[in-house]
Structure 1
């Protein structure tokens, strides 16, 4: 069952005028191409530019398993008009098929009937013995399904849908230690430069290490607070995510939110500064918060700017936001498209649907559900930046303990303080990861509650746009 389907029909009359039924035959060929594959169905309009017609036609006919013969109301008269010509491709294709044992499937359109033996030339008279299928007005779609089912007995259909694989993101967990070392070097260099430019008090090596560990832990606690806030506000965040997916200018929205947030933080710092903080302290806090806010909003902005120029976009990571955005984009296109829907658009829509389903299946796969697997693959900013901060904070805490022991010898108090610092550092990391994982799972659950209904609705819309009966009616109405 690896042969091809050949559509035999009369396109023009003896005066070279396009016959009205040619549009309906094009819809029939389009329907067969969707079911059996574009390369499996030969229709004369699919001939490539520059390809010689006679040799290409005979080559395709040699690969044919089923010859679909479309019989219209003036089929016999048109056949008789060409009886004296050197070449009549409709006649010759049928004759070659009968001579080579190719299965014939006559499709009789409204207003026509199967030709009788005495009406046909001797070379194709055997076609009168073949059982045909009528396509009466009012039941075109159902009868075309019958045509497809008959051909399917001989020619294998194409796969049920495009197979789309989701490329797993690279394993970035091994970069955490390297990022931590780099971050520590940057901070040490920045501290050295700051001591040259500002009159910092003289600190011992122990207190310098402690100060760095505290600063790094402070950033970890900020990340923990952000992750906890995202988890606590997961309902509104899901709503905002959906709105962003439906917003054309997402970068403007993200920038506006960042400006508002930054303005609120600056106002809060100015108010706090009037209650005892020095100008330098307020300025330092402002700079720190600006850097954190700009970095965070930059990550969000880049995430919302991730776009593939070509459509349908290729799924590169199983993210709920990608599913939302892909659904919105496909829904927008399906609502804007009108019948007749070209085969290329049908195939693009099918690829887009398959991509969404592949991402949803990947997100809900067992290996993606576990917290550890998610921590290693799905959260770049917690996996890399956060792990680097944790590594740097632990290094500074250990360095402070070692320097303290070198200066005064081991003691229980320093060990307890070090253990407390380790608990805070590890707790901030584990807590942030747990909150982020909970937020991620909440997003998946929110998408899962609606995605099946959305995909079913888009399937129905695509089926309506691709229905051959509607396509033929549209073509005939506007011809």
Structure 2
């Protein structure tokens, strides 16, 4: 792996550096000197300056967008009175470039000249007020730009790193507190005449937990074919994926619900409500699909993009497929190198997460599910206890508690084993595919 990861210090490991500045005769010499220093350190192909990079006869708006989209770091040269010269008429390229950089999540380094100060947010146009909150670098403190070069050189390494999955030690006590409240509420507040309702609700809650356990167990037992299907689906680009996978799944789901709604067991009076619920659910499903498509399209157009933390197996697998595809299509060594480092870090985090204990995994990864399950199970036992108290048949809630505890334990165990296997499998896939890329294998 050293052939790909070990690179000269002067190489920039991603899309490069974009210099944003206001053209003026007094500052052009400084900007060209800055460009020369950065180009000497990182290479001319990794530093963009419009007057030095854009060839004659090229449409500069297109070139600006393309190079800014590829850049990892945007250096904004700020002179005295800089904020007062900004315009929002669409023709001010200093404003446009900063606005695009903010929207794309670029790292922005304000470079303050001798008498310049960082503008306050109130002094900036609304579209770029976030610029006021970036840490600035002063030229008088670093006349040779050595410190600036070190900051820029460290940026790809920082952006390629993956943070550890944070622990949530508060999840356990909170689940205990909510569970206690859910148990006590029906015992203390349910009237004596509501015994039948309490029994019915408790049995229903237990059955729902049992159904969830069966679903998790089936997914866990079928993890290998499911994993193979997911790998096949990730080979699609975003458009094909959602056309061939997302939309048919949504149509089948809506069709099943509609069939149930208009089947004979459903009372005619209830059908309008069910139709409304189905319509809202279908619209929400379409919204989720479109939102995810937009996210994937953004990641495709702005490749490579950092993974969201904490990392999960499915996004890592999608990025691995994207790496393979981009490596074959573009041959962009710098971006491929950065993406490889990023995915290697993500795979290491997945492998470490797979080795966590059951309680650590449950509190860190399944916090919401833990809280919901604690409330649901405690409420079910509380309802059964409330129904059994008048006759003092406390053995009934004791049996219910034992059954529910067994169901929850089996569900957690199946889910834990599945995530353990999936995380290790995806981590191994990442390392194996990266090794093939480095070896030049197809």
State the TM-score, normalizing by the size of structure 1. 0.49
Task: Indicate conservation of the 8 Å contact 2:199/2:384, yes or no.
Answer: yes
1:75-103 deviation digits (Å, cap 9, x = unpaired)? xxxxxxxxxxxxxxxxxxxxxxxxxxxxx
- SS in structure 2 opposite 1:369? coil
Indicate which of 334, 352, 360 corresponds to 2:339. Answer: 352
Query: 1:166 is paired with a residue of what secondary structure?
Result: coil
Matched, 1:451 2:430: yes
SS at match of 2:410: helix
**In the alignment, which residue of structure 2 is the partner of 1:314?**
307
Measured in 2, the distance between the counterparts of 1:213 and 1:261 equals 28
Contact map agreement 2:344 2:430 (CA 8 A) in 1 = no
User: Quick check: which has more Rg, 1 or 2?
Assistant: 1
Displacement of 1:384? 4.0
Q: 1:424 aligns with which of 403, 411, 415?
A: 403
Paired residues in the alignment total 300
- Given the superposition, is the C-alpha separation of residues 461 and 235 from structure 1 closer, same or farther in structure 2, using an over 3 Å criterion? same
Describe the shift of the 1:55–1:444 C-alpha distance in structure 2 as closer, same or farther (beyond 3 A): closer
| Cα separation, 1, equivalents of 2:420 and 2:436 | 25
Q: Distance between the aligned counterparts of 1:230 and 1:266, measured in 2? A: 26
Query: Are residue 256 (structure 1) and residue 248 (structure 2) matched?
Result: yes
Tell me what 1:37 maps to.
10
Q: Does 1:219 align with 2:208?
A: yes
Distance 1:389 1:357 in 2: 39
Which of 18, 26, 29 in structure 2 is aligned with 1:52? 29
Q: Matched residues in 1 for 2:386 and 2:194: separation? A: 9
**Partner Cα separation in structure 2 for residue 386 and residue 175 of structure 1:** 12
* 1:158-193 CA distance string (max 9 Å, x none): 789665022525735566468779999999xxxx9x
Retained in 1: the 8 A contact 2:354–2:420?
no
In structure 2, what is the Cα distance between the partners aligned to 1:401 and 1:323? 50
Paired with 1:265 and 1:54, the residues of 2 have a C-alpha distance of 64
Give the structure 2 partner of residue 207 of structure 1. 196
CA contact (8 A) 1:164 1:355 kept: yes
Distance 1:385 1:372 in 2: 16
SS at match of 2:227: helix
Correspondence list, 1:62-461, <5 A = 164-168=161-165, 171=168, 176=175, 204-247=193-236, 248-249=238-239, 250-252=241-243, 253-261=245-253, 263-264=255-256, 279=267, 311-338=304-331, 341=332, 346=334, 348-365=335-352, 368-379=355-366, 382-402=369-389, 404=390, 408=391, 410=392, 414-460=393-439
Structure 1 unaligned blocks of 5 or more:
1-30, 40-44, 65-157, 193-201, 463-479
What root-mean-square deviation, in Å, do the aligned CA atoms of Structure 1 and Structure 2 show? Answer: 5.2
Cα gap change, 1:255 to 1:380, in 2 (>3 Å): farther
> TM-score, normalization: structure 2?
0.53
TM-superposed CA distance for 1:282, in Å, is 10
**How far apart, CA to CA, are the structure 2 residues paired with 1:233 and 1:337?**
37
Find the residue that maps to 2:394 and give its secondary structure. Answer: helix
Instruction: List runs of 5+ in structure 2 lacking aligned partners.
Output: 22-26, 42-152
Q: CA deviation at 1:280?
A: 8.2
Alpha carbons of 1:166 and 1:255: their partners in 2 closer, same or farther (altered >3 Å)?
A: farther
Measure, in 1, the Cα distance between the counterparts of 2:414 and 2:396. 26
More displaced stretch, 219-228 vs 242-251: 242-251
Report deviation, 1:46: 9.8
1:173–1:377 contact (8 Å) kept in structure 2: no
**Distance in 2, Cα, partners of 1:243 & 1:460:** 23
SS for the counterpart of 1:386 is helix
